[in-house]
Amino acid sequence: MRLSPVDRIFTRIGANDRLVCVGVCTWDFSTFDGTAIASAVLSELSRRVQCRSFFSTHYHSLCRAASVNPNIALAHMACMVENENEDDPTEESVTFLYRLTAGVCPKSYGFYAARLAGVRPEVCTRKSAFL
């Protein structure tokens, strides 16, 4: 997936000439409420405003809903996973490739992100038992 230069293309005045970047951080909401709000914003941008947008989210259910919208192209940041382990994701090692790739991210790498943030391994291991 490539992004073309947009600074000279968007010279007309109007909502669909804008570039909108949205990072969905809804920590103050429940998962259900956060998903509903993010879905409403995404729907409004894609159907009514129709501007070029980046919409970043950790809500995987939004990806399923967005996949049927012809105005939305799904993409994720590629990574390489070593020691991939569905039974114990805390053992995985992830290398971020910093490359935008077409399609939905195949899984969450939250346990690896937690380790990077300094969360104790026993907390991550305990959490993985609940999945």
Give the residue extent of every domain in the chain.
Answer: 1-72, 74-131
Q: What is the pLDDT of residue 97?
A: 93
Its sign, for the CA torsion 101, 105, 116, 27, is positive
pLDDT of residue 120: 87
**Radius of gyration of the chain from Cα atoms?**
17
Residues of the chain short of pLDDT 70, as ranges, are: 1-17, 25-27, 126-131
pLDDT at 59: 81
pTM for this prediction: 0.66
